[in-house]
Amino acid sequence: MSGLTNGIDGNPLLSPLSQDDPELCKIIQSEKRRQRRGLEMIASENFTSRAVSDCLSSCLTNKYSEGMVGQRYYGGNEFIDEVEKLCQTRALQAFGLSSEEWGVNVQPYSGSPANFAVYTALVEPHGRIMGLDLPDGGHLTHGFYTATRKVSATSIFFESMPYKINPATELIDYDKLQETARLFKPKLIIAGISCYPRHLDYKRFREICDENGSLLMSDMSHVSGLVATGLSPSPFEYCDIVTSTTHKTLRGPRSGMIFYRKGKKGVDKQGNPIMYDYEDKINAAVFPGLQGGPHNHQIAAIATAMRQAAEPYFKTYQEQVVKNAQALASGLSECGYKIVTGGTENHLVWVNMKSVGLSGAKAEKVLEEVAIACNKNTVPGDKSALNPSGIRIGTPALTTRGLKEHDFSTVVKFMDEAFKIAKDVQAKSGPKLVDFNRVIHEDEFKTRLNDLRERVEEFADVFTLPGLPDL
C-alpha cells in the first residue's frame, strides 16, 4: 500500500513510526502495555519523565561532537557545548558539589563503560582492583570471575579480587576486606552495590584505602537518587572518584557519569601544593580511549533529569521509595519470607526464598506469569551462582507510578498468592526447574495464575505511567 510508505507530502522520512513501520510500532505498543499493566519491581529500573523522553527523541541524536566542551573535533557544536555544560553544572549541583573541588564527565554511554573508563584511566594494565563479589551483591564490572572463567572484562584486563559478605551477619565483612587488602595491595577499591539493602560505611573504606595507598571509587549507580536527596550517606566526602548510572533511582535516561576530585589534594614536605590529576586521565580514557562521539540526546536528558533532581518533589519521591521498600520488606516478612539482613535502608529488598522451599528461578518465573517483574539473585551462603536462592525486588519504578505503603500491602498479597501457587506446582512437578516450568502451564495452575494475573493487571492499570504519549 503506497499510502503507508509515501509519508507526508510523498516524503517517507516524514512518516511517524506507526505509518513508517507498523510491525515494529506494534511491538513497542505491546511493551508499553506490559509496562502499564504489570508491576515493575526490578530494582534497577524506573520510568523516565516526559521531559527526559523528549530529549531522547530530539535532534541531538544527529550530532557528532567528539572531544570536550569548547574543544571539539567537529564544527557546529555551539549548542551541543551549551547542553553538555548545563548538564555538568546541574550534575554537580544535584550532589551539592563545588566546581572547585569536583569535576564530572557526562559522556559515558552507560554505567559499565563509565566504570571501565575509570579503571583505564587510573589503574595500569593488570593492576589490582577490589570490589564486592557479584553473588554477594556487587556488580559484574567490579571484577567478577568464576573458578573456570574470567567473566567481566575488569577481570580480564585487570587483576580483580572480591571482598564478601559475612554469611552469619549478612553484612559486608569490612574486617576481612581490610585483611585481604593488606595482602593484595589493590590500586583501587570499589564501594558499590547492585543488591545490598544497607548503607555503606565509606569512612571505613577510606581508612582501608589509606592503609594501602589505594584509590577509593564509589559506584553509586543504584542509590544515586537517594544520595542526591540526602537519604543515603554521601560517598563524596570520602571518595576520590564516584561513578553512577543515571537511569536507576536517579530516574534519568540510560547513561553514565564519572565524578572526579580536582584542585588541591594537600601539600608536600616542602610545603608545595599537590594537585589531583584525575581530570585529564579520565577525560582521555572516555574519549579517545574507549568511546567516540558522545550521545548528546542522552546528555541533554541527564541535564533535565538533574534539574528535576533539585526539585522538592524529587526528595518526596525518594522518601516514598524508601518507605515503600520498608513496607514491602516488613509485609513479606510478616508472611514468613526471610529478608536478607532483616530489612532495608534503601530502595532494595533482598528475599531469601529457601526459607519457604522455593528457588530464586521458580519465584521469578511464577511472578512473571502474573505480570510482576523481578530478578532471581544469589543470597549469602549460596554455593553456586547458577542456582540462586533468592530474588531482588525494588520500589523505584512503582513509586514513580504513585504507589504508597498501603498499595504495597496489596502487592505483598499478590506475591504471597503467587508463591503459594508455585509451592503447589512444585509439589506436583518435583524440584527440577524444567519440570516446574512445564507443570506450571497445566490447566489447573493456568486457571489460578490467569485469575491472579487479571487482578494484578487491573490493579496496576490505574496508576499513571509517565513518559511520551502512546505512539
Ligand X SMILES: *Cc1c(COP(=O)(O)O)cnc(C)c1O
Read off the DSSP letter of residue 285: I
DSSP string of 268-284, one letter each residue: -TTS-EEE--HHHHHHH
Q: Where are the alpha helices (DSSP H) in 213-340?
A: 224-228, 278-284, 296-309, 312-334
String of contacts with ligand X for each residue 112-131, x by CB under 6 A = x--x----------------
Q: From the list 49, 141, 359, 400, which residue makes contact with ligand X (rule: CB under 6 A)?
A: 141
> What minimum distance in Å lies between the beta carbon of 430 and ligand X?
35
Q: What is the nearest approach in angstroms of ligand X to the Cβ of residue 45?
A: 10
Decide whether 119 or 445 has the Cβ nearer to ligand X. 119
Query: Is position 88 an interface residue for ligand X (rule: CB under 6 A)?
Result: no
Residue 251 found at the interface with ligand X (CB under 6 A): no
CB-nearer residue toward ligand X: 48 or 221: 221
Among positions 90, 128, 139, 362, the unique one binding ligand X when judged by CB under 6 A: 139
Among 35, 89, 110, 166, binds ligand X (CB under 6 A): 110
* Segment interacting with ligand X (CB under 6 A) among 28-36, 78-86, 110-118, 441-449: 110-118
Query: Contacting ligand X (CB under 6 A), which of 245, 324, 377, 426?
Result: 245
Positive or negative, the CA dihedral 89, 252, 217, 198 is: positive
Comparing CB distances to ligand X, the nearer of 128 and 347 is: 347
Q: Decide if residue 219 touches ligand X (CB under 6 A).
A: yes
Beta bridge partners of 260: 103, 241
* Residue from 65, 120, 194, 377 in contact with ligand X (CB under 6 A): 194
Asked whether position 40 contacts ligand X by CB under 6 A, the answer is no
Closer residue to ligand X (CB): 194 or 344: 194
Catalytic hit among 55, 87, 142, 195: 195
DSSP per residue over 102-137, as a string? EEEE---SSHHHHHHHHHHHHS-TT-EEEEE-GGGT
Q: Which is nearer to ligand X, 374 or 418 (CB)?
A: 374
H/E element, 351: strand 348-352
Please give the C-alpha separations between residue 198 and each of 20, 338, 369, in angstroms, as whole numbers: 48, 16, 30
Considering only the stretches 29-37, 109-117, 330-338, 429-437, report the one whose residues sit in contact with ligand X under the rule CB under 6 A.
Answer: 109-117
Could you confirm whether 247 is annotated as catalytic? yes
Beta carbons of 223 and 247 less than 8 angstroms apart: no
Active-site position among 139, 142, 222, 247: 247
Residue with cell 537518587: 225
Residue 126 designated active-site: no
Q: Which residue is nearest to ligand X (CB)?
A: 111
How far apart CA 426 and CA 353 sit, in angstroms, is: 13
Q: Which is nearer to ligand X, 231 or 358 (CB)?
A: 231
In the window 371-400, what residues touch ligand X (CB under 6 A)? none
Which of 230, 288, 207 has its CA nearest to residue 94? 230
> Apex CA 319: angle with CA 248 and CA 460, to 5°?
65
39, 41, 44, 80: which one binds ligand X (CB under 6 A): 44
With binding defined as CB under 6 A, does residue 221 bind ligand X? yes
Tally Cβ neighbours within 10 Å of residue 443: 7
Contacts 24+ apart (CB under 8 A), 434-440: 436/362, 436/365, 437/365, 440/365, 440/366, 440/369
Between residues 161 and 327, which has the closer beta carbon with respect to ligand X?
Answer: 161
Name the pairing type of β-strands 256-261 and 102-105.
antiparallel
Residue 242, amino acid: V
Rounded to a whole number of angstroms, the minimum distance from the CB of residue 305 to ligand X is 14
Which residue numbers are catalytic? 195, 247
The binding site for ligand X (CB under 6 A) comprises: 44, 110-112, 115, 139, 141, 192, 194, 219, 221-222, 245
